[in-house]
Chains A and B, each alone.
Chain A
Amino acid sequence: MRQTLYLAWRYLSYHRVKTLILLVSITLIIYLPIGLRVLVDQSSQQLTARAAATPLIVGAKGSPLELVLNTLYFRSDYPEIMRYEQVTRVTDADLAIAIPMYVRFNAQGHPIVGTGYEYFEYRGLDIVDGRQLGMLGECVVGSRVAEALDVGPGDFVISSPESVFDLAGVYPLKMRVAGVLGFSDTADDDAIFVDVRTTWIIEGLGHGHQDLSRPEAASVVLTRDSTNVVGSAAVVQYNEITEDNIESFHFHGDISQNPVTAVIALPPDQKSSALLQGRYQGEDEPAQIVRPVNVMNELLGTILSVQSFITAGAVIVGMATLATAALVFMLSLRLRRREIETLFKIGGSRLSVASVMTSEIIAVLLAGVILAGGLTFLTGQFGSAAIRAFIRM
């Protein structure tokens, strides 16, 4: 037996190019459909894990997919804007905890997520350096943001204008980093979190400026009477919120009309969830309520149908490759006729010769299976990280 295996090994190692081609072909035939399946399953799990952990999302009427992608992954264009009163509406219904989300702005390529304190508790995000959001104008950054921007507690992050031509619109706000979140291997690692009111300040709905009633502001006061002071456009507005100027920051108009992109609703039980969903079924209803897991499953349904085509293609290619491999083996038998005759002449039995040939085929097939198994295992281990890295590119 050892001699048979030795002869097979010597043959394969001598014809290493041919062996290698066969090995690669067989490995890929086995790996492609299985690896693809593993990859798709992992993507599905990744997408649905975060969606499944988010019971309900309330947003303005529009694309549910855009709403979910923006709220969960801080990706895609921001969905239709709705008013903060929708947050209060969920709270007042007393059926769920409402977490406001305003994901519209960014800082140096990282999304600025305006939210509430409960978001961190809900997502299980802990501060590993510094402290939680304390006052307006502060931010906490995800672990990858801290690494990419090389920032930590006490450093600053500056919000970016929405457009380079938006000279009169959103002006940059210098936000102090209060803390850094621990690595969570989710979209939270790539985000900059602020209080939702800080995003309103970025948008210009709230601001801080010098006190117009003080003597040093006289040069920017146009008119003054007992009930009204009119300042000129030269009033100094602050682009950073500090302990010294925070008391001058204020919001104009009705807070309930300020914008948010979504509300994450956390009902305590199924009954509350059903009751809350029922409140958004009216035809004139300006808001929609979605179960993120349903939206993501719909998306995955599309991905899975594409995967079926790819798998079918891979199977056909695999069959063609196997046929080619069989042909290669058969042709090689013909080419090796003299070698086989020599084996007979030196006393090799028909069985021994057949054993050598079979061993060669089995060795190549076995090696292909092992390599494909290894690749599948690696895909299982690193596939999800690779997908996320690819998505972030």
Chain B
Amino acid sequence: MFERIPKGGLIALCAVTSLAGCGEPRQQGAVRSLQDDGDRALSVYVVNYPLQFFAQRIGGELVQVEFPAPADVDPAYWSPDPDLVSAYQGADLTLLNGASYAGWIERTTLPPSKLVNTSASFADRHIFVESAVTHSHGPEGDHSHGEFAFTTWLDPTLAAEQAEAILQAFIAAYPEGEDVFQEGFDALADDLQALDQRLAAVFAGMAGKPLLGSHPVYQYLARRYDLDLKSVHFEPGENPPENAWWDLQKILAQHPAAWMLWEGEPLPETSSTLGELGVRSVVFDPCGNAPEEGDFLSVMSENVSNLAEAFGN
């Protein structure tokens, strides 16, 4: 008769309790440190070719340097697509040029702790582009979207400071590789010093003489070597419009330059018209993007040769 005692309630209770489950709050971990990855190479993304070159020279085999901008764009004005932004987000370090270079950085979400502004150490020596147009609307009053000149690497002494920032970032991220990084940096610093001396020699005769730049990218070069340089907005692959020629003539009236530095070989018609105005062309490639042949130093060496040939040094 005892068997008749109903057990349904307790059985149901047991079933409910055994099936019951509730997720505990997720384990929250600290931000991954690079040292957790053992001996693997650092994954480094950069925003222009000079930084890629510096990083590769310093990091050697210990770093994987990625510069995903297409070869036919100016990396300063290029923007990565969302997939590439994800790739930048996943990098151990992202090397920035600073000085307003690569505006997309300001409009995307990247991990600040992994960003290295390689020109931060000389932020007080960035060159502000004074011709920036301000505008005003609404209650905020005047404001400017002005920019800094950004081709900092054209001053080899600043390039060396950028390289040193990369060295420090690499050591901080991967202390075990310090010897390799230091060795790479020392060699690079020597090369940059040699480049500086060669440029100083080739520009020695041009100090104070009027000079033109086809594009406003030579500010740091001009400051370093005491060049009296004014810039226009001529593209090597395009014939400048008529009003650009008028503007050039106005400039030449005040600034009688005999040479114009070009980022690439100008069109023959452009060279010819310039010749009629008494201005000859010489190519000085800033090398913001990867060259088709050679590397940063070989391009700079060719620039020096072009200048030496042009200026007769």
Binding site for B on A (CB under 8 A): 2-3, 5-6, 9, 46, 49-50, 53, 91, 97-98, 116-118, 121-124, 131-136, 138, 178, 183-186, 195, 197, 209, 212-213, 220, 226-233, 235, 246-247, 249-250, 252-253, 266, 268, 370-371, 374, 377-378, 381-382, 384-385
Cβ-based interface call for B243 (8 A): no
From known contacts A50-B25, A124-B29, infer whether A233 and B109 are also in contact, taking CB-CB under 8 Å.
Answer: no
Q: Evaluate whether A252 and B109 lie within 8 angstroms (CB atoms) in the complex, with A5-B2, A124-B27, A377-B17 already known.
A: no
On chain B, the residues within 8 Å of A5 by CB distance are 2, 5
The residue on A at minimum CB distance from B172 is: A94
Can you spell out 21 A-B residue pairs with CB atoms less than 8 angstroms apart?
A49-B25, A49-B28, A116-B111, A116-B112, A117-B109, A118-B31, A118-B112, A122-B28, A123-B26, A123-B28, A132-B86, A183-B23, A212-B135, A226-B133, A266-B30, A266-B31, A268-B33, A378-B17, A381-B20, A381-B22, A382-B22
* Residues in B neighbouring A91, C-beta threshold 8 A: 112-113
Which residues in B have their C-beta under 8 angstroms from that of A246? 107
Q: Which residue of B lies closest to A6 (CB)?
A: B1
User: Binary interface profile of B, 81-106, with partner A (CB < 8 Å = 1, else 0)?
Assistant: 01001100100000000000001001
Q: Is B254 at the interface (CB under 8 A from chain A)?
A: no
Residues from chain A with a CB closer than 8 A to the CB of B113 are 91, 97-98, 118
Q: Is B293 an interface residue (CB 8 A)?
A: no
Does B135 lie within 8 Å of A132, measured CB to CB? no
Chain B residues within 8 Å of chain A by Cβ, number: 46
8 A Cβ contacts from B2-25 to A: 2, 5, 10, 13, 16-17, 20-25
Determine whether the beta carbon of B136 is less than 8 Å from that of A132.
no
A132 and B89 alpha carbons, distance in the complex (Å): 9
Q: Please report the number of residue pairs spanning A and B whose Cβ atoms sit closer than 8 angstroms.
A: 137
**Contact at B16–A118, with CB atoms within 8 Å?**
no
B241 at the interface (CB under 8 A from A): no
A135–B83 Cα distance when bound, in Å, is 11
Q: Point out the residues of chain A lying under 8 angstroms from B26, CB to CB.
A: 123-124, 184-186
- Chain B residues with CB under 8 Å of chain A are 1-2, 5, 10, 13, 16-17, 20-33, 79, 82, 85-86, 89, 103, 106-113, 131, 133-138, 140, 142-143, 145
For B107, give its contact among A6, A98, A249, A381 (CB under 8 Å). A249
Query: Are B17 and A227 closer than 8 Å at their CB atoms?
Result: no
Which residues on the B side are within 8 Å of A212 (C-beta)? Answer: 135, 137
**A50 near B28: Cβ-Cβ < 8 Å:** yes
> Are the C-beta atoms of A235 and B28 separated by less than 8 Å?
no
> Are B25 and A378 in contact, with the CB atoms below 8 A?
no
Asked whether A228 and B134 contact (CB < 8 A) given A135-B107, A370-B10, A381-B22, the answer is yes
Given contacts A49-B25, A231-B136, A253-B143, 15 further A-B contacts (CB under 8 A): A49-B28, A118-B31, A122-B30, A124-B28, A132-B89, A133-B109, A134-B108, A135-B109, A136-B109, A183-B23, A184-B26, A185-B26, A230-B137, A232-B137, A378-B16
